[in-house]
Copies of this chain bind each other. A is one copy, B any other.
């Protein structure tokens, strides 16, 4: 019992210190570890398994919509990065520079890719000639480096894993359609797989991607009321194609510039899963991304027949769920804590009494509800319960998000919400950068997005009192 106790005590409660609670989970659930280079993390097997499940779902969605994977170089020459003016201004201050290759000093320094627009553009300029070559729907899975001063595992690191989609189209309409299509795929992934509800909308000019005509985003809300940008999709129009000379001849033989998009999702999603679903016992994983969906824990395992029955159940469930039997000699109490910390959706307990009664006890990680099930019904009950947990996690997250979403019609109310009820603030905006800056200065909140689903909260801008153009989601953000 001493060992069990120690394990539980080691977790900071989220009410006491949310940041420490987060860090504790990352460490104790063995998701990631620090490396010797500040801001660079080691993603451990359990954390990486989450990423693999995210990848598997996203990659299937990309392929189902006609996208193909490619791989571009990890290094970008300085001159190439500089070709699109806004883009280089956005990224140059945060890249890592390679100055020596082997024993020689390079004649031109190369940056470790912070994102790959310039590489895709260079390639597209070579391979796109005619309207027959369009659209190009490419994606790549890789890591990128952006030098960060303050870092936190998964949420903000100097290196992260992601996918970056880069597409080229004949017309502005097609690139806009693609941008929105991918944003919708991101939103579906978040809601259907991660059980995280999102607000879809457009970034303001201030917050949009360096070089984009329009940036769309999905924003989610964490347990502490802070927002997390969870995926972005950019329409570049012909900004990059003009800078890189990416032209195609249309059906009449006339040369036209292509219209481009890019879109990305990252390992930061793992941070979102922690902060949306986790509790003071650790991770709570949606079944669809859980590396282990059911953990079988034998009770009084030394008694005859218990381990055998546990093995038998495991075999039965192997084709139904990702299942693990923990037959180590640790105590059941220790194991309960361990798999609660790791957020395994269902714990299955099987002991001598259960065997006598031809039953097992199922315990839900999310609600801790105990359900006694006949062993004959197990293969029917488990998938049903997993679906139920998946759905109820989404519902719970949606309720929490809604409870933490407020409307403000004047700046004092706005300030009060930010100070006392952290969450999303819905408020009207005139569309001017000055007001956006002033709101940040006054309240600490940034614009998260101009949601596609507009609501009328007031006629006038919450800041300047002039005629309002948009309803905007604001909030403090990661």
Bound-state Cα–Cα, A52 to B56, Å: 12
Chain B residues closer than 8 Å to A45, beta-carbon distance: 68-70, 138
Judge whether A100 is part of the interface by a CB distance below 8 angstroms: yes
**Copies of this protein chain in the complex:** 2
Q: Are A42 and B69 in contact (CB under 8 A)?
A: no
Within 8 Å CB of A42, what residues of B? Answer: 70-73, 119, 123
A314 to B45, CA, bound (A): 40
Given known contacts A71-B161, A98-B97, is B43 in contact with A80 (CB within 8 Å)? Answer: no
Q: Which of B75, B126, B127 contacts A96, CB < 8 Å?
A: B75
A266 shortest CB reach to chain B, Å: 13
Interface positions, chain A 66-117, Cβ under 8 Å from B, are: 68-77, 80, 93-103, 110, 112
The answer to whether the Cβ of A334 comes within 8 Å of any Cβ in the partner chain is no
- Docked-complex contact A49 and B75, CB < 8 angstroms: no
Size of interface on A: residues with Cβ below 8 Å to B:
51
Task: Write out, one digit per residue, whether chain A residues 393-432 have a CB within 8 A of any chain B CB (1) or not (0).
Answer: 0000000000000000000000000000000000000000
A69 in contact with B48 (CB, 8 Å): yes
Residue A147 at the B interface, CB < 8 A? yes
The minimal Cβ–Cβ distance linking A316 to chain B, given in whole angstroms, is: 20
> A135 → chain B, closest Cβ, in Å?
13
- Alpha-carbon distance A103/B146, docked complex (angstroms): 12
Question: A40 an interface residue at 8 Å Cβ cutoff?
Answer: yes
Knowing A98-B97, A98-B98, say if A43 contacts B68 (CB, 8 Å).
no
The 7 closest A-B pairs by CB, nearest first: A102-B147, A45-B68, A40-B73, A43-B71, A97-B100, A101-B147, A96-B98
Known: A33-B123, A40-B74, A142-B143. 12 other contacts (CB 8 A): A35-B122, A42-B71, A42-B72, A43-B71, A48-B68, A49-B69, A74-B74, A93-B102, A97-B98, A99-B99, A99-B100, A112-B112
